Amino acid sequence: MDDVAEPVPGPADAIIDIAACGICGTDLTFIARGGFRDGDTAPMRIGHEAVGRIRSVGSDVAGLTPGMRVILNPQTAGSVIGNGGPEGAFTDRLLFREAIAGKTLYPIGHDIPDALAALAEPLAVSLHSVNRADPKPHETVVLFGAGPIGLGIVLWLHRRGVARLIVVDQNPKRLEWAKSLGATDVVVAGADRDLLADLRAICGGGEIFGMPVVDVDCFIDAAGAPPIVPQVVAMAKTGARLVIPASYKKPVTIDLRRLLMSEMTITTAMGYPTEFAEVIATLPELTREADLLISHSYDFADFFDALAVAQSGDCAKVMVTFPS
Ligand SMILES: [Zn+2]
């Protein structure tokens, strides 16, 4: 935690008093790596899941005025807030470059609490994963990983009316949260477990060329654990889909011969190219879900306690709030 000079906005910029900012798995990855890329050693400013109040704007900024509450879109921001640019939102006062209403900053009403508003960014990541998976209501979906992004995926799949949603995670507490958000079945993962047998017990299966498969239409990997993709390839039925929003640290080997037999589709989901506005419009309907998604909340003065909880993994979203 460093003291920095008071930020000064350029003509297109805004200064924002941050009100809340969630800790993201990406933040933990940056910390573990030492920076944006492996081997980086220079200080890097983190924090990108933020809401705040506009303190001042540059002379060219239109439609945004001091006092407005705004949700930050780090992906469209002028300096990709907290993702390798010169600014990060774990600060009480942020220089926000290229302040554009409805594109980089989204004004919100006072009916949306700070913590709920700060969920917009991770919920947009989750929604993009669901859009890439494009599940139909009659389909069976298996989701790996019930961390904050996975739990958001459960929320959106439930709202889409997916009939059967099986969530796989090692942490029983996270699986309880997934059930509260709409998972129909849960499976505790572990080295001593037989995932194929556990899934076949829930949703049945068949065979391809004498090899056992599960009757699952779509898999989503929000966990990023090395065994998952090879396991999915080995159990996929004909025409199954796998969407991967998880960020893998190392290459993974898969059996292309097995992939050939199932004609399954594997794709990825990155960020939220089109989802941000839809998520913000839906926020007023998500107060119950926000209470489930935010497992811990800390004042900015206790940032390192918040970070320790997030790093423990025994949590859903860890929220950092700033005194007004
Ligand atoms: Zn994030």
Query: Per-residue pLDDT tens for 283-315?
Result: 999 999 999 999 999 999 999 999 999 999 899
Ligand 1 centroid to Cα of residue 105, in Å, is: 16
Give distance in angstroms: CA of 260 to centre of ligand 1: 35
**Distance, CA 286 to ligand 1 centroid (Å)?**
18
How many Å lie between the centroid of ligand 1 and the Cα of residue 49?
Answer: 6
CA-angle at 34, arms to 305 and 124, nearest 5°: 70
Ligand 1 centre distance from Cα of residue 73 (Å):
10
Residue 218 confidence (pLDDT) above 90: yes
The pLDDT of residue 295 is 96
Is the confidence at residue 249, as pLDDT, over 90?
A: no
Tell me the pLDDT band of 232, cut-offs 50, 70 and 90.
very high
41 confidence band (pLDDT: 50, 70, 90)? confident
Contact 238, 211 (CB under 8 A): no
CB contact burial 243-260 (16+ within 10 A = b; e otherwise): bbbbeeeeeeeeeeebbe
> What is the mean pLDDT of the segment spanning 85-97?
96
Q: How far is the CA of 254 from the centre of ligand 1 (A)?
A: 28
**Mean pLDDT across 212-237:** 97
Share of the chain above pLDDT 70, in %: 100
Q: Which residues surround ligand 1, an ion (CB under 5 A)?
A: 24, 49, 122
Give the pLDDT band of residue 39 (cuts 50, 70, 90): confident
Q: How far away, in angstroms, is 7 Cα from ligand 1 center? A: 24
- Kindly give the distance from the C-alpha atom of residue 11 to the centroid of ligand 1, in angstroms, as a whole number: 28
